[in-house]
Each structure stands twice: as C-alpha cells, then as structure tokens.
Amino acid sequence: QVQLVESGGGLVQAGGSLRLSCAASGRTFSTYVMGWFRQAPGKEREFVAAISRSAGSTVRAGSVQGRFTISRDNTKNTVYLQMNSLKPEDTAVYYCAADRDPVTVVPATTPDEYDYWGQGTQVTVSS
C-alpha cells in the first residue's frame, strides 16, 4: 500500500502559476503510473494529467494542454503538476493517484483505473 500526500495548492490570480507536489510513501513509487485529477464543487472528478513509470510517456486533458506539465522524480518519490496561465475554471480540489497495475503501459485517464488516492489540495483561481 502507498500513501499519497499532496501539497502546493492555494489562492492565485488568473494568469498565475502554482506547482503541486505529491509525495508517496514506500519504496515502490517507481512501479506506479501516477495521475492528477481534479474535482470542482458539484462536478464529477475529472482527469488532468498522468505520467508513466519512467516518465517516458505523459497524457494531459485537452483543457490543460499547453498550460500544465506533469513530471516525476523517482529518487524523491514525488510527482509534480506545474500549472501555468491559470484560469478561474481551474478552481478545484486536486488529487494525485497511483495505478499499481503492472500491465498498464499508456497512463489511464479514468479514476477507476487508479488504486490509491491522496487527500487532495485546494486550488482557487480568482478572476
């Protein structure tokens, strides 16, 4: 089992930047595909970005293309989400998640594919 702890959320003005971090416990971090999701009030949880075990493959939602970048450092058991040019519609609780399935090659974009979740960090973008 892995525990995930997100940090880096906060309040930022539109056009600003934030970098989220997700620290994982344990020594098997490099075996997990990692993803970021977000959930705004009254809405379903939606995919943001995901990264393969070796960081050789990344996937991003169309709504964040060109603005958000996912990365990971397996030596630090941490996955990051760099968010630039933030918009009010990016306001949500952001969650990191881990997919432990060794068969996964292309990072999944649906929440059901992920096995472990962090508690979330709030991101609020003011207009």
Q: Which residue has the tokens 């416990």?
A: 25
Query: Residue 27 and residue 68: Cα distance in Å, rounded?
Result: 27
Q: Which residue has the tokens 């594919």?
A: 113
Query: Residue 17 and residue 35: Cα distance in Å, rounded?
Result: 19
Nearest to 84 by CA among 22, 14, 7, 9: 14
**Per-residue pLDDT tens digits for 110-120:** 999 999 999 99
- pLDDT, position 103: 86
Q: What residues have CB less than 8 Å from 6, skipping those under 6 apart?
A: 20, 21, 22, 94, 95, 96, 118, 119, 120, 121
**Per-residue pLDDT tens digits for 61-109:** 999 999 999 999 999 999 999 999 999 999 999 999 999 998 888 899 9
**Per-residue pLDDT tens digits for 18-69:** 999 999 998 899 999 999 999 999 999 999 999 999 988 999 999 999 999 9
> What are the angstrom distances between the C-alpha of 46 and each of 79, 81, 104?
18, 15, 19
